Structure 1
């Protein structure tokens, strides 16, 4: 074990001579990179970072996912996903400091430990990037759509109110990120993240309570919508992807844990796990009421964003849309931070650029501009969730942590841990195969009527 007295004072990280043989230059680089620069987070930072990362815009599409899954399968999928993802999150928190004196601060570092230097990078980085970049794109769309909806609700007078294109609202939303993206690291966005976490609880509560107030609709139906069996099956697959998308916090969990101080006596997994438990209780309070009450009140007529189904009372729904915007601002930052870290690591460590404000300014602005451009080009919200949900979220959330656990911890064959991990892997792989199929089909169906930059 590492002696308490040997502390790398800058990173508040224990090390011994064998482990920390970084040069002063390498230490300076680590102190500059967003993930490793600040290690003084408290356990509640972990709670609201995790809530912000988890409870995304996905929660608003849950009633719609329920309408495509039906009562029995819908409730089962929601509950099982909650349990499996909590279990895989626990595994990742445990694996953060598996090797004494070393911390796996990034998802790909853990992957490299489990699968080998090269293979670990090839397995984890593409998937993690697809998840984080696609979340950022989807959140650009969500932010823009919520601003658009807010404008529609508030601006009732058609004579004085101009109809503004969704494209411009996405640009307005992006303008915030051209400023916020220059906050250096995770701890510096904790205020934004706290606001976002509070907002997620607020708009979820508004969504289900407004639905309760409206009551069960007169001609409500709970059967499957499409007339054809093929349509029903594809929609079912797509809905599984929506649910997978709703539990996507794993991609940033090691990066969040990296900000918590750690010593051999008090490893970071204690406070981190405490934060995760609080976050998961909040997740349950957001997800289950919205999904079940939204579906119960509207049946299969519910929109793919529950707030769009609710038009009254106007002030409340307008407020909920602004809450969504504030929340998504925080979520965007949480998912962008590891991407910034990867880009800056490559530039500074591989391409030998000097760490500077200018380097950060250019790369981060380019990234925000890119996600904004793609969001403007492809704003089909529901289908994108299903497609990305299965394609990249299922592996990083449902079964990659299990494969790493089997590879690193090596539980005994047929032991409870071994069986549990294999069940998660099988379910996760099945999800990864079927949900992109459904999501792709709904993108194709929506794309038929779509015009660019509308």
Structure 2
């Protein structure tokens, strides 16, 4: 028969009925019901006593079983009624979804089904492999590894799929499986009753912390949901004879009565017999005769064969349709060869991947979370609501019920996914049930405790430091590590005491911290940090820390287990601190600092650029002697095939830490590391904010956060397990991200077919379709004619605003000409005169905003919202009385980008007007970021007005910095006084991101034009009232900012640190 002239639907029906995998209008409802009972439910019976009831207990467990079973039946009942819509018959789920919702939903459903089939098949291979392994263990004292039985299961599945190509051809197998299922049920229940009576110590308590209980409960809900799903109901329904819908619902009734009774019954019996200690794979725990265990596992294996065939049928159908010559007949030699190759490909890949998975129950949860939940629970209600509203309005109560159930289903899906995700990311020791993948070793890490018995303070950049609390962090860490019971050792990355510790208490303080480390039930390997050396000489430290040392060297190595070596570097081997006066290493360090650091204060990076900033006195180098030692150790590790971890107080890679925290000779160390292939990771401390990167050779560089800077009740320590298989965790983490992203996307409001509601849209736009929402704008001028996409010849990258009066027109004319066509010009007119500016040609392309007697910060708050200026990389907010003779805007932008400034201003001519020392131009610099103000003005050299400070007369903001600053501007404080001292709140680290550009400088002409817009009162000039208002606003702003910070810390339940408001 030729297929020419047939329509698409007729062609598909012909292919399926004559050659394909689906045989429409052939099977009875009893056969389909038996397939659902034995194929879907029973394949899971053996493992869910543990996964479902142990985390939930009796009351919640039985409730969830009943409620979710009812939900599943209702969702499938709805879907079965959609077999024919408006004269169209749907024999595939994706065709139904595509018909109702369009092409995108067709492909989404196809993708979910495809993942369902692949993941489901892997689950059944795993189940079959475990059943075969258990049978083998009954006859062998040295059973083979599970992976062997997984591969054997894959071979059996391949043979079955090759010789039984259609679902309808399974009726004899289904009958056999049904007989075995009855036998299985009787034998299993008998053994469970026997074991349950003999077990006098059954424990039904739910164990674990409160957090673990919650997430385990979510995981149990996921398991129950998976057990009630298929994702293939339209495909199965296509094999039924007429009346299709009625017969399908009879089959579903059989599944959710007979099938559920068996499935739930055995799960409940397993939990009753063994309590919370029930095994994940129930037959592992049975104590019956050998023949009973063999029979039970044989039945389980046969059930997995039948189930996987149903899950793989659509994959085989798609591959056969694509690659087989259907006109030749399904049993032609050519098609048999192609089928052989295709089946071998499917099962070979599935068996191989399954052998890599180190878990079973959590795998099933992932399988359901990712694919089956939406296919079985969410999509049917979506289709029913839309179809019934469009074609045949149902009773109101039924439509309302479907909508409410859809909401509940979406919640269950998300909660189940949370549980699945959490379980998958548990430590490998709790997950490794497949191939015995246990951590080779685990160790604790902590860095920069910097304990001192002094009040809390701040770092030079303003970050709070909790000196006394850091000891509590360490104590909690030691207790946690001891409770872990599987940690081989600890790594302390240095700086156990702080440099501000009173020097007469240094020895006692160090001994106190060491005593805490000694509480750990295992060895601790220490590193020396700069704060350690501020308190005690290195010889004393090495003794107190019990470091293996020769001649006061603090570098060493050790092997925690065969195949691994840890190398601990001494970052202060070459250093000006810690060595006796005149020591060669101290002298060598001073020579390096004199050559590399031009400042008299060698702890200051002033004038230094980029990676040169690492040459500070609080850093150090490993030196030539240690480099030779490191080379020898690395060569020996390579020879002995050891994997190496490098540990150092100072970071070794510039992309993992600030330039000011790096080892002086990090490049030499990296060259050695890269010269061999044995180094896998480099760990460090010192840079308190932490960091991470993977370098060009695939080596992981991790800088640990400081315990010192943890607010009360928070922690900064960890456990690092070294496992024999890390790649699978990465794969699973990626999949979990996809799962969560997808399920968030199918939240109920987004599937409403009568309204649009998108909660991720900007506030107020939730009822608009996302693609029409335009959250940002600009000041680009557009034509009133032509095509919109042809309006803009040039799109300006920068914005400059001047707040002006007409009397300053000549100065503004000169100033504007310093800005190229890359700048949008925006004038705020405080005198209300705008038309007079038309005499300037540039004014015709400028934006004019007029409001009488208002300041530039009033204008900025109301007209420069971050979403309006989001197109501009930099925003200039300038006064009108600036002389720009020595200024070039394009060159200024280049310097700002070069030096990484987020907030800046041009240098001010020092001999004109009143200026701060910080903002005065320096003739020998491109940019400066710090200065020395008058004595007593700066509590900290990294705080205003000595650093992190610019004035507000000619400020330039990056787009990101302005987004923060705009929110800090107060509506009623129009002069902006005090804002200059608070700008540092919006960039981090502020003393590096805020600076003055000396190479492009301006003159402040000190014209009190806006001041004269004030009002004369009580004999005072107008400008005097304005100045008085400015001072009041400064005090008000300081008070508000201080109160806001205190309120924030109190809301966290912690005492506010010393105020950071200057």
Shorter-chain TM band: 0.7 to 0.9
Kept in 1: contact 2:22–2:167 (CA 8 A): no
1:180 aligned partner: 160
Secondary structure of 2:287's counterpart equals coil
2:239 aligned partner: 259
2:535 aligned partner: none
Q: Which moved more, 1:201-210 or 1:229-238?
A: 201-210
2:407 aligned partner: 426
Residues 1:334 and 1:27: Cα distance change in structure 2 (over 3 Å): closer
Kept in 2: contact 1:392–1:432 (CA 8 A): no
1:128 aligned partner: 113
2:421 aligned partner: 440
Question: CA deviation digits over 1:7-35, x for unaligned, max 9?
Answer: xx99xxxxxxxx97359976653445534
Query: Which of 122, 125, 150 is equivalent to 1:170?
Result: 150
Task: Give 1 or 2 for the bigger CA radius of gyration.
Answer: 2
Residues 1:151 and 1:390: Cα distance change in structure 2 (over 3 Å): same
1:4 aligned partner: none
The 5-angstrom pairing of residues 346-357 of structure 1 reads 346-347=322-323, 356-357=335-336
Question: CA deviation digits over 1:316-375, x for unaligned, max 9?
Answer: 1221011100111111111110221233345579xx999733333222221111111111
1:214 aligned partner: 195
Residues 1:108 and 1:317: Cα distance change in structure 2 (over 3 Å): same
2:383 aligned partner: 404
How far, CA to CA, are the matches of 2:8 and 2:113 in structure 1?
Answer: 26
1:76 aligned partner: 63
Query: Which of 332, 341, 347 is equivalent to 2:317?
Result: 341
1:237 aligned partner: 218
RMSD: 3.0
1:371 aligns with 2:350: yes
Question: CA deviation digits over 1:25-84, x for unaligned, max 9?
Answer: 766534455344454222222111211332143222332111111112111111112111
1:386 aligned partner: 365
- Following superposition, the deviation at residue 198 of structure 1 comes to 4.0
1:145 aligns with 2:124: no
2:338 aligned partner: 359
1:66 aligns with 2:53: yes
- Following superposition, the deviation at residue 402 of structure 1 comes to 0.8
Kept in 1: contact 2:184–2:296 (CA 8 A): yes
Kept in 2: contact 1:167–1:453 (CA 8 A): yes
How far, CA to CA, are the matches of 1:104 and 1:436 in structure 2?
Answer: 30
How far, CA to CA, are the matches of 1:255 and 1:415 in structure 2?
Answer: 30
Query: Which of 247, 268, 277 is equivalent to 2:228?
Result: 247
Q: What TM-score does the superposition give when structure 1 sets the normalisation length?
A: 0.85
Kept in 2: contact 1:348–1:354 (CA 8 A): no
Greater percentage in helix: 1
Q: Which moved more, 1:294-303 or 1:26-35?
A: 26-35
Residues 1:52 and 1:126: Cα distance change in structure 2 (over 3 Å): farther
Residues 1:59 and 1:359: Cα distance change in structure 2 (over 3 Å): same
How far, CA to CA, are the matches of 2:17 and 2:216 in structure 1?
Answer: 47
How far, CA to CA, are the matches of 1:215 and 1:32 in structure 2?
Answer: 52
- Following superposition, the deviation at residue 397 of structure 1 comes to 1.5
The 5-angstrom pairing of residues 315-326 of structure 1 reads 315-326=291-302
How far, CA to CA, are the matches of 1:99 and 1:154 in structure 2?
Answer: 60
Residues 1:299 and 1:452: Cα distance change in structure 2 (over 3 Å): closer
Residues 1:26 and 1:303: Cα distance change in structure 2 (over 3 Å): closer
Residues 1:419 and 1:167: Cα distance change in structure 2 (over 3 Å): same
How far, CA to CA, are the matches of 1:95 and 1:390 in structure 2?
Answer: 24
Question: CA deviation digits over 1:228-267, x for unaligned, max 9?
Answer: 1111111111111111121123x222112211234xxxx3
Greater relative contact order structure (CA < 8 Å, 6+ sep): 1
Query: How many residues in Structure 1 have an aligned counterpart in Structure 2?
Result: 424
1:6 aligned partner: none
Residues 1:368 and 1:432: Cα distance change in structure 2 (over 3 Å): same
Kept in 1: contact 2:184–2:299 (CA 8 A): yes
Kept in 2: contact 1:399–1:429 (CA 8 A): yes
How far, CA to CA, are the matches of 1:141 and 1:416 in structure 2?
Answer: 44
1:105 aligns with 2:81: no
Kept in 1: contact 2:41–2:228 (CA 8 A): yes
Structure 2 segments unaligned to the other structure (5+ residues): 437-1062
How far, CA to CA, are the matches of 1:321 and 1:81 in structure 2?
Answer: 28
2:206 aligned partner: 224
Question: CA deviation digits over 1:129-156, x for unaligned, max 9?
Answer: 222211110110110011111111233x
1:95 aligns with 2:73: no
How far, CA to CA, are the matches of 1:223 and 1:170 in structure 2?
Answer: 34
Secondary structure of 1:215's counterpart equals helix
How far, CA to CA, are the matches of 1:26 and 1:240 in structure 2?
Answer: 38
How far, CA to CA, are the matches of 1:126 and 1:201 in structure 2?
Answer: 36
1:119 aligned partner: 104
Kept in 2: contact 1:220–1:300 (CA 8 A): yes
Question: CA deviation digits over 1:393-414, x for unaligned, max 9?
Answer: 2111222111111111227699
Secondary structure of 1:55's counterpart equals helix
Q: Which moved more, 1:215-224 or 1:166-175?
A: 215-224
Structure 1 segments unaligned to the other structure (5+ residues): 1-8, 11-18
1:274 aligns with 2:257: no
Question: CA deviation digits over 1:173-193, x for unaligned, max 9?
Answer: 111112111222111122223
- Following superposition, the deviation at residue 439 of structure 1 comes to 2.3
2:903 aligned partner: none
Residues 1:205 and 1:305: Cα distance change in structure 2 (over 3 Å): farther
- Following superposition, the deviation at residue 225 of structure 1 comes to 1.9
How far, CA to CA, are the matches of 1:313 and 1:31 in structure 2?
Answer: 47
